[in-house]
Amino acid sequence: MMATYQWEDLASRKYVPWEAMGVEKIPPDEEEDMKAVIAQINEMQQRQYNKARHCFGGTHARTQGIVKGKFIIPGDLPRHLKQSELFREAGEYPVACRYSSEPGDPGLDDRIPQPRGFAMKIFDVKGEMFDAGRDYPTQDLEFNNTPATELADAKTTREILGLRLMYGGDKPELYNQLKERPDRELQLSRDKVANKHLESMRWYSQSAYRFGDYVMKYSLVPSTETQRKLAGQTVKPEDSDDVLHRWLRSFHADHDAEFLFEVQLLENLEEQPVEYAGTVWDEKRYPWQPVAELVIPKQDSWVYGRKSFWEDHMRVDPWHGLVTLQPLGSSNRLRRVLYPASSALRRKMNARPEMNVRSIDEIPG
């Protein structure tokens, strides 16, 4: 459960309004960059299709597990955190969550260190939705186990995907190209991510979102002692190539999982940029504040019907959700056009219709 928290200092801070000048600055060539990225992602999907004869998403192609739980909003949040319809009042919502590996290769060996992903679809949410998800009462949220993304804006994404397409089969040369970039440390960091038990990881939004009147990044923090102890369980060369999914399934079969859902609010645009998602917001200067809990009861995290249904028919899209939780910044504007385009190619090539589920009960298992 959420512990007693000292809110006084945090409640009195001057948080930047989400509509303030400078929060979003759309560069003149962004639309051209977005069109190029769509073509690049579709090419990556086509390449994977040529190997597997099945089309996957351009990223997060490898499912590690899918679980169901509940997202709990307490009734005693301070006023500055009662933002959006979701957090304004106490409530409990059904939620479906998917663990994944971030690259677009569904056969990626778990022993290779790479970023990992976590996605949530919260059901029965009430409030004004964006047009893309207006008929579906869900709030979709995406996470990564790194606090910043190397695909930090549309321009950078176009440049990096171009290098990966050109040198994807020649990793030494790809590294040589990345080392010549001014953001080389960020670009090379993805191969140095700690490869450990997924249930011990902290998960980050990476990019910024509206939070009612304000702007936030969000995070999930494992909150049980059992989960925290797993942090030392790292993948070794002698482990199987699907070790992460096996560890995850073993954990969920025997244990409940709990996470704190925390937000980090925007106070200083120079130190907390919204347009560039490659910068970590300093958590000492701008603390994380808990606003909800995610609780996942014991269950089988590897149900074949659930996995195939999610991969073949569903997608998580942050533009499926509340207007008061609007995705912000270049990387999120890119997602608004990229995700539907990537999904459309998958549905066409796999002959599987997209299904925007209205109830968690529509998901098998």
Largest CA distance in the chain: 57
Under a CB-based contact definition with an 8 Å cutoff, are residues 55 and 42 in contact?
A: no
Task: Say what the pLDDT of residue 133 is.
Answer: 82
Q: What are the tens digits of pLDDT across the range 293-314?
A: 999 999 999 999 999 999 999 9
Alpha-carbon dihedral of residues 49, 55, 59, 60, nearest 10 degrees? Answer: -120
pLDDT band at 168 (very low <50, low <70, confident <90, very high): confident
| Domains observed in the chain | 8-362 (2.40.180.10)
Task: Say what the pLDDT of residue 7 is.
Answer: 64
pLDDT at 121 over 90: yes
Q: Write out the two tokens for 358.
A: 């209205």
pTM confidence score: 0.95
Q: What are the tens digits of pLDDT across the range 224-275?
A: 999 999 999 999 999 999 999 999 999 999 999 999 999 999 999 999 999 9
Task: Say what the pLDDT of residue 321 is.
Answer: 97
CB atoms within 10 A of CB 274: 24
Under a CB-based contact definition with an 8 Å cutoff, are residues 252 and 226 in contact?
A: no
> What are the beta bridge partners of residue 34?
none
Average pLDDT, whole number, for the chain?
95
Under a CB-based contact definition with an 8 Å cutoff, are residues 365 and 306 in contact?
A: yes
Distance CA 279, CA 206 (A): 9
Q: What are the tens digits of pLDDT across the range 77-120?
A: 999 999 999 999 999 999 999 999 999 999 999 999 999 999 99
Q: What is the average pLDDT across 59-63? A: 95
- DSSP secondary-structure letter at 103? S
Closest residue by Cα to residue 333 from 101, 45, 25: 25
pLDDT at 212 over 80: yes
